Amino acid sequence: MELDKGLADSEWNLRLRINIFFWLAILFALAALGSALFPGRIYDWFLDNPRDHANNLSVIMASLSGVFLVYVAFLGQRWQILFQQQELRENMKEMQKLTAQNEIQGNALNEQIKKMDRDFVHQNFFRILEQHFKTRDRVEFYDEINSPFDSKSIKIREKSENAFKELFWKINVWVDSKFGWLEEQNEKSENYFLVENGFAWQPRRPKLGLFGDPTGLRFNLDPEQELTKPEITFIIRAVMTQFQFDTYLRSCYYLFDYMMKNKFSQYLVAVDAGMGTYERSFLFYQVATRFEVDGRIDLKHWLMDHRFLANIETKHLLSPEHIELLYPIGSGPEFEKISNPHP
């Protein structure tokens, strides 16, 4: 086994000491054996009790030889420990390599899992979007109006884009109808309206003339008589309660909430592209008036921050000035950050 440089130096020093003390032990052992077998010369060194001195000298040299051999054994254990340390170092290096490989594999696996999760979130979004468009296609407008020629009623039933168009027709009729906003109210009827719809009746201003245009699907109002936001909100909600658009709105909430939580603002263009002209106008008024009422102000702010429906043509609104319900002057794309007009 090849030792590292630091351990190799220590091993060389140990080997040198082992050799030195081993041969010293051999030398003293031979000297002790020689003095025991051939004590004659030793007797010449000592005049008094030469035999005792010869025996003692033999014992001392034998003892020193034993001590040297014990020390050699100790050095041998240290020599083994050096190789064990080298083996531990190699094991540590191998473990570090394995740990690094496992970390790389773990990071690659985590990235793959994140990618799979992200792919699933994207795929799930497109499934939700597809289901939303299917819900939109099932939207139905149903109404009955009295025929101007006889006592029979005329039934109107439209779906999808035509349903939204008919809703705008109904709004323009309702604002000037004696069965709509012109209907006389008293305390009892206003209380009944509140119980039935969940919001209070908004009285019509006496100075407002007839301004609904069922043909052009727009309001014809003098600039001085422009409707206030509470009035617009009331009109939209009052007409909406008569028709089944809640399923569509719940689908919008679910779709936009999923997009907001997953930061899918880049797909708002795809949502916009899939809508018809009157659906876009319908959703514009819902974002402007209904989202706050339904407690989805967070969605409203998110959509406004990303300029959703900001490019809607004003000719498709009930009044051109209504564009400022969401995007008043000073909130255009030339500003770095849009100031929310409805904090």
Q: Decide if pLDDT at 19 tops 60.
A: yes
Q: Tell me which DSSP letter residue 290 carries.
A: I
Per-residue pLDDT band at 266 (split at 50, 70, 90): very high
Tokens of 59: 């014992």
Classify burial at 40, counting beta carbons within 10 Å of its beta carbon; exposed 0-12, middle 13-18, buried 19 or more: exposed
Q: pLDDT: is 96 or 278 the higher one?
A: 278
> At 338, phi and psi to the nearest 5?
-75, 130
Per-residue pLDDT band at 9 (split at 50, 70, 90): confident
Q: Decide if pLDDT at 298 tops 50.
A: yes
User: pTM of this prediction?
Assistant: 0.64
**The pLDDT of residue 284:** 95
**The pLDDT of residue 136:** 93
Q: pLDDT: is 191 or 145 the higher one?
A: 191
> At 61, phi and psi to the nearest 5?
-65, -35
As a whole number, mean pLDDT of residues 320-328 equals 89
Task: Give the rounded percent of residues in the chain with a pLDDT score beyond 90.
Answer: 31
Token pair 């468009």 is at which residue? 133
Tokens of 342: 């409805």
CA distances from 2 to 16, 44, 79, 96, 307 (A): 18, 54, 13, 19, 70
Classify burial at 128, counting beta carbons within 10 Å of its beta carbon; exposed 0-12, middle 13-18, buried 19 or more: middle
> What residue spans of the chain are helical by DSSP H?
5-37, 40-43, 50-137, 160-174, 187-197, 229-240, 246-261, 268-273, 277-285, 291-293, 297-305
**The pLDDT of residue 142:** 85
